[in-house]
Amino acid sequence: MINFTESGFEQEVLKSDIPVVVDFWATWCQPCLKITPILEELSVEYDGKVKFGKLNIEDHQNVATKYGVLSIPTLLVFKDGEIKMQIVGLQPKKKIIKKLSEVL
């Protein structure tokens, strides 16, 4: 998984030629820490089809604010530079896969 930054967000996410799942998180957020292994598994399963990465909201508040992230964890799925889906809160792997299938 990639650690997205404010400076690289446009290139890594908005200009990506494949869909991107951005996990908005913080180090103190327990549900965020619990969703990480799920996303790591998915990043392997969807390798080459979907890019997965994390964006720490404390280090990159401007990006979180720009996309209206009010609670974490929040997963935003970008495709062709636009948000196609939002998943808020800790979700089971099956639910995330189902939501991703709607975008792909």
Q: What is the CATH number of the domain that holds 88?
A: 3.40.30.10
Structural domains of the chain, count: 1
Domain that includes residue 79, residue range: 2-103
Q: In this structure, are residues 36 and 24 in contact, taking their beta carbons and an 8 Å threshold?
A: no
Give catalytic residue positions. 29, 32
Mean model confidence pLDDT for the chain: 96
Q: Each residue of 63-76: pLDDT tens digit?
A: 999 999 999 999 99
Say if residue 104's pLDDT is above 90.
no
Reported as a single tens digit per residue, the pLDDT across 9-41 is 999 999 999 999 999 999 999 999 999 999 999
**Alpha-carbon gap, residue 80 to 41, rounded angstroms:** 24
Q: Given pLDDT bands bounded at 50, 70 and 90, which one contains residue 6?
A: very high
Give every strand in the sheet of 74-79, ordered side by side.
2-3, 51-56, 20-25, 74-79, 82-88
Q: What is the mean pLDDT of residues 71-100?
A: 97
CA distance 63 to 42: 23
